[in-house]
Every structure is written in C-alpha cells, then in structure tokens.
Chain A
Amino acid sequence: MAQGKDTKEKLPRQAMPEQDPNIRKRNFDEVPTGYTPELAKAEASRCLQCKKPSCVEGCPVSIDIPGFIKYIQEGDFTKAIRKIWEKNSLPAVCGRVCPQEDQCEGSCILAKKGQPVAIGNLERFAADYERNYGSGELPPKKASTGKKVAVVGSGPAGLTVAGDLILKGHEVTVFEAFHKGGGVLVYGIPQFRLPKEIVASELHFLERLGVDIQCNTVVGKTVDVDELFEQGFDAVFIGVGAGLPRFLNVPGENLINIYSANEYLTRANLMKAYLFPEYDTPLAKGKEVVVLGGGNVAMDSARTAMRMGADRVRIVYRRSRDELPARQAEVHHAEEEGIEFYLLTNPTRFIGDDQGWVKGMECIQMELGEPDESGRRRPEPVSGSEFELPCDMVVIAVGSGANPVLTGNTHDLELNKRGYIVADPKTGKTMKKGVWAGGDIVTGAATVILAAGAGRLASDSIHDYLSIGW
C-alpha cells in the first residue's frame, strides 16, 4: 500500500467485525470478533507516526503507541507485542476494556478531523495474535534475589505487580480469596466482552514464569498481613479491589430477585450460572428486568440479563444520557441489543407480591440542577411525578465501596474516611512498613489500566525497597 499522506487520510477507520446484534444478544460469545492481519495492517497504516505523539500522553501507562503500530504496519506482530509488554502486561485485556475514547484515541491527532486510529483494536490484535500463533517464549528473568513478595488479590493491580517482580528475580506468591484468579476480570466483566480463556492465559503465563498463585485464601481471615511477614515475606502488596456492593436503601430492597450487580455477575461469570444445570449455581431469569445505574457495570448486567433470556431489559438512570459513566461503545452495544434506557428516573421503592418476589418499582422523574462534587449535574426529583414500572427482576449497579475484610483486620494501615487505603500516589507505599497498595482499594472503583498502572509504580518501589531499603 502506498504510504503517501493522502492515502492515509482517505482510508477510513477499519471497523472490527462484530456478531449480529440479534444473534449475539442471546449468546455469551464475544461480540467483536477481532481484526484479521490484513485489517490490522490497513488500520495501522492510518497512523501518522507523529514525532510528538499525544496518544502516548493519553495512555495511563505510556505505551509506545506509534512504536508498536509501526511494527504492525510492517507485519512484524511479534515485535509489536514485545513493544507493548514493555509498559503493559495485560494487553489482551486492555485492548478490549480500556476506555480508549477518553485516553489514547481521544488524544489522537486524527480524532480532531474525525476518526482516531483504532489503537485499542490494534493492541488487542497484537495480543491475540501472540496468544494464538506466538512462540510462547518467556521474557528473560533476572537472577534470584532470594527475596519473597506476597501479593494480595489477583486483579489487574496484583497481576501486574506479580509479573514485574518475578522478572526482577524476586519470589512472588499471589493470594486470592476466590477459587479462580483474575479479580473483576473473571467475576465481573462478562464472557461476551472479555472471554475468560484470555484471563486464564494471562494467569498461566505468570505461573510459567514461576509465580505461585494460592487461591481460596482470604487475607485477613485465613492468614493476616502480619503473619505473612512472620512466614518470611519481605514485602506485601495489597490489591484487593473495591468489592463492597452499594445498595439504594429504599424500601423493599431485600425482595426476592433484587440482586446487587456483584452477585448477579459473579453467579453468571465466575460460577457460570448461564450454563445451569450443567453448572450447579442457579441464577434467576427475569422476563422484565430493570437495571439501576449507568456505568459499565450496569451495561454488563443489562446485556447479561438479555442473554439469560429476558423479554425486556431497561436501564434506569437518574441523570441524562450525557452523564452516563459507561463507555460509549458499551452504551452503543447495549442499544443495538435492544436494551431500553429510562433516563432521569430514580426508584423510590420496590413493590413485592404476597410471596415476597419483586413485581414492580415505584419511580420518580428527575431533573438536573447544578453540578455536584463529581462534576456531574446533580439530579433532583420532580415532585408529584411518581409512576410505577412493572418488573420481575432488578439488578442494582450503583457503584461499590471498600470491602473491610482485609483492612479491618490489619494493624497500622491508614484508611481514608470512606475506608480506602491511603497510599503514596507515586510509589504505592502505605503507612505500614513493607506494605504497598494500589488499584481500586486505593482509588475507589476505577479502571483496569489505572489499577495496572498503580501496580507498575508499586512494583518499581518494592524493587527499590528490596534492593536498597525503605
């Protein structure tokens, strides 16, 4: 293909092929099916290879984006993935779930004229190509330092720390409360958006490098942080995520078939309830489902409910469309699958039948006032606008808080008033000697890439500590 500037501008952004919405809304297979090498090379050829690439500034972990894209242009996919790995050890995940439109792609020069380079799709392509056709060659490991690091939690923060430190020659053990590693990537984000084989393959990669992953261990219960030091660990990284479901505290919330998103998605994803009775964990199949909230978690819950066989799925959100916190792509996918949006609407109570099952919801119309602390315009109820919405299942996806199981059982950790761990934003160091923290348990519910970025900073700092001192 000619490399002249004109052709580059004319070539439109290469769309990633997707399953037809009418088919995919009833199956759990991945929605976008991935670029072919030809599509990837065509898309990569749109990159202008800017001298001062603003996309890199938009990336929380500063991947050399023009660098890896250039390798894809040249068809050297192995070099492309190695370039990404320098900064990000979870590219197959991030390529799928990062909010690229606000990060790298949002800062792409081409975005100003119309369509940015599909950086996320290319990242995903490079990672998938390596997983499917790569040599499986392991990166080189430094000589053993004899130091031992405990990582608590196997979400993106913990996995990043584990991967970094094992390569630097330290011994790493990851402790995970669940029976499977991966954090929200396995129990929260659904199969149709992030296939579990991919997370499993990331974990397997770490195991091949020598990381010991101990599942079924609740730190704070099975073993305490102080006991980890007694057992000979030299440093501890805490990446336990947020993991406390928030409820609305409106009457009727404990009626049957009212789920927290955490429960709904954990049953569906981790426990594979969508395969019941092949798998033993059940999950209610609502006919008329209402999902409360407007973030990625709400979109995932709504789309899961549709796949479980619902006739009608509605998202009820108290602000307007412009304030929806979910990624645009997810909102778009949800709409294509027939999810309806009830905006500027808030529940005031849940209504049950005489057996205790939810059968409806009383809602009130909202209007937007001045912006609140979150910067979004504050929703206020319109008096007298109450109405009833019939439904037989509700999923509450209005955010999460800090789970206190570990923090409540660990001495000398400083917590902020919302229960999150206080850690130095540059190093991840906590007030407790030898203990670092990062990811959602420090920032509150955020994103995969921010958790991975926090893990990267912490692992550098832990490495310094193990080599030089606190």
Chain B
Amino acid sequence: MFEILKRTEMAQGSVVLNELSAPQIAAKALPGQFVILRANETGERIPLTMADTNPERGTVTIIYQVVGKSTALFADMKVGERFLDIIGPLGKPTKIENVGTVVCVGGGTGVAVMHPITKALKQAGNHVISIIGSRTKDLLILEDKMKAASHDLHVCTDDGSYGHHGFVTDKLKEMLDSMDVGLVVGIGPVPMMKFVCKMTEQYKVKTLVSLNSIMVDGTGMCGCCRVTVGDQTRFACVDGPEFDGHQVDFNELATRLQAYTQFEKQAMDKYKCECQR
C-alpha cells in the first residue's frame, strides 16, 4: 500500500504529480476531499487535496508544489517507493449542484484542487467557465485537463508570457459583467482567493473557496486548522476545507500560515545540506 505508481514533474519541476496506491481511500473519495500523508518515521503530516481518483485501479493522484522540506522530501521519492502513511478521505466533499453558470477560478497548484470539482460541476449540468492563472507560462499546470473539464477556458499569466496578461480577477470581472453567474469557485493562494471574494461580493455572487490552513490530525481533534468564518471559529479539516468565501477572515488565515516560517527555513536548510552530502 501507499506505493508511488507514477511520478510526473510539472511546471519545470516545481510541481510534482504522484499517483499512489490507496484502494480504500480511492473507493470513497469525492471531489473536494483531501488526504494527509507522511513520508517516513520522522516526517510531518502534510495535507494534500486529491486531484484525481481511480477506484478501479485503487489509486489517488496528488499534485503538489515543492515549497518546503516535506514537499521536497515527497518530490524526491521515486516510483516504487512508498509513503509510510496516508489517511483519508478527509474533509467535506464539495456540494455539487446545478446552478446554471459556474466560474471556476484556479491559481497555481490550486488548479489541481480545482480540477475534480470542475469535472463534477460540468457533469451536474452546469455551464462551466474556467479561468486559470500562474505567474508565468512555464508554471501553468493542467491546461489540457481543465479545457476538457470546462465549456470554456481562459488562461492568465502575471507576466503576459501566455494567454491574458494580468490576474485571474481581471478575467473574472469580464465574466461577471457579461453574464448571469450562479456560483464562483476560487482556489489558489490566499491573496488570490481574497481578491476573488472581494470582487464577487460586489456582484453578490456566491463564492466557494478551499482553505489551506496548517493541519496536524485532520479529524477535528487538535484545533490547529481553525479559521474564522462569519465571526465563528471553524475547523478547516472537518467543517471545510470549503467555505463561503464572503465570510472568511483571509487576513487571519494568512497570518496563521506564517506561524512556522522560521522553523521551515531551518528544516529546509538542513535538508538541502544533507542532500548535498
């Protein structure tokens, strides 16, 4: 169990896809849910959304950005190696409804999280327009898959190296101005989600976001993942990870994500140093 069956590098190696054997989880998982993985005995428990599942093969696919020690360690694992632990499916699945037109806005690795949700929304009969973005062309992921999962796809890059020159919110504004939108789903870096929500608030369009708070157990036991939603403390792992974006205190989330910056740097430096040996 938990063997890596496939490993693909995306976005010039800064993003990695792994297909993993986890039959029990694959049989149960629904769009929007995540798993928690641990590479080895000394490893951290890291939450990652399932970008895809294949119940027949008994596999789940994760796509992650290499940001610190743990994701670097994951990325260094080869086909045939195993994760020590994978638990899931965790979190509430996305509520998939037919609302007419949906705009799916994905940024960075958020696109990976968005993909299964987009597919499900289309299957449910919605007219799905997707907007995906990245800093530059080389960092864009899953363009083809998102194209297949949507009726219409728009690509944005911050530096204009591909598609629309500018932020995903520019494109989103065009959509909101030109048609009746029933729902917006925004998944990506915290600032991106925050600005998507600020914009849709003006148009009074319901907006779902997926929150990447820091987690430990993922089962509502520790309270590490707490976020303020509509003046209430909620746990992203069991009450979410998706919430009504207009209610989320994004500033608090961004602040809490800084909690371990110093430690993370120390861990990463040590890891790099060990790899060079």
Interface residues of A (CB under 8 A from B): 177-179, 215-218, 221-223, 243-245, 247, 249, 253-254, 256-257, 259-260, 262-263, 266-267, 271-272, 276-282, 284, 355-356, 403-405
Contact = CB atoms under 8 A, between A and B. Distances in A.
B85 interface: yes
Interface stretch (B11-19, B57-65, B263-271): B263-271
A256 B256 contact: yes
A403 B221 contact: yes
A282 B223 contact: no
Given A262-B221, A277-B267, A405-B238, A254 B87 contact: no
Name the prevailing secondary structure of the A interface residues.
loop
Interface residues of B, number: 42
Given A280-B43, A280-B44, A282-B260, A263 B255 contact: no
B220 A266 contact: no
Contacts of B270: 277
Given A222-B89, A403-B221, A282 B264 contact: yes
6 contacts: A222-B25, A243-B221, A245-B223, A260-B222, A262-B222, A276-B263
A254 B252 contact: yes
Q: Return the 8 tightest CB-CB contacts between A and B, nearest first.
A: A282-B263, A356-B255, A263-B222, A260-B223, A245-B223, A280-B44, A179-B85, A243-B221
Name the prevailing secondary structure of the B interface residues.
mixed
A212 B216 CA distance: 25
Contact of B38 (A179, A223, A253): A179
B258 interface: yes
Given A259-B223, A263-B216, 18 more contacts: A178-B217, A179-B38, A216-B86, A222-B25, A243-B221, A245-B223, A247-B226, A254-B226, A256-B259, A263-B223, A266-B217, A266-B222, A267-B216, A280-B44, A284-B260, A356-B258, A403-B219, A405-B238
B84 interface: yes
Interface string B102-140: 000000000000000000000000000000000000000
B228 interface: yes
A147 B25 CA distance: 26
B252 A282 contact: no
A281 B44 contact: yes
B258 A256 contact: yes
B178 to A, nearest CB: 39
Given A222-B24, A257-B259, A260-B223, A177 B216 contact: no
